[in-house]
Amino acid sequence: QVQLVQSGAEVKKPGASVRISCEAFVYTFPAYYIHWVRQAPGQGLEWVGWINPDTGDTQYVQKFQGRVTMTTAKSINTAYMELRNLKSDDSATYYCGRGVQGFGDLWGQGTLVTVSS
Amino acid sequence: EIVMTQSPATLSVSPGERATLSCRASQSLGSNLAWYQQRPGQAPRLLIYGASTRAKRVPDRFTGSGSGTEFTLTISSLLSEDFAVYYCQQYNDWPHTLGQGTKVDLK
């Protein structure tokens, strides 16, 4: 079944880093971008950035520049998003999505990141 | 950054009724607009892209229309599974941006 499966929930202290994985199943991984969005509790969706798994090209929303890094491991069909210097308002569910043009046609189940001292 | 504004914030509808959701962009998008449905505790689900093209396995009671700065998602006859939050998203320019969502709930 075509799907994206994300890593499990994380609890981190302020200032720490988190790395979330997103594994793709049953489609040609390099053929589609991977987008990352997040959703704070009770709030709407917010774009974080995207990566082209074929070339490694990335584009990040400016507010995350310098704190986020997106990478992929083509050999295992997996994308990663690392967010550094975590703050309490980074607490959110993070979703990876398979990108077609500029939208996501398939989304992972989400990874809850809680930032708390 | 393109600002996306959805209205209304909440739409109360009875099963079987029609729901009309609006999305306005601060700049012209052409047809580079998508709609997503999000049920509680679930990931977003793509409904519409290119302003009016249904994604795979999306029932034909969902219809997207509009271009430029004004867009509409119509659900022709609501089923219980359609009670959810709906987001519009522009992909005409970076950063991609989404509206704040319209919650469709039970009247």
Residues 6+ apart with CB under 8 A from A38: A45, A46, A48, A92, A93, A94, A95
For A57-107, what is each residue's pLDDT tens digit? 999 999 999 999 999 999 999 999 999 999 999 999 999 999 988 999 999
Asked whether the beta carbons of residue A95 and residue B43 sit closer than 8 angstroms, the reply is yes
| DSSP conformational letter for B81 | G
**A73-86 confidence digits (pLDDT tens):** 999 999 999 999 99
pLDDT at site B29: 97
Higher pLDDT, A20 or A30: A20
Sort out which chain B residues have CB atoms less than 8 A from A102's CB and list them. Answer: 32, 91-92, 96
pLDDT 10s digits, B15-72: 999 999 999 999 999 999 999 999 999 999 999 999 999 999 999 999 999 999 999 9
Asked if B87 and A106 come within 8 Å (Cβ–Cβ), the reply is: no
pLDDT score, position A49: 97
Q: Give residue ranges of B with CB < 8 Å to any A CB.
A: 32, 34, 36, 38, 43-46, 49, 55-56, 87, 89, 91-92, 94-101
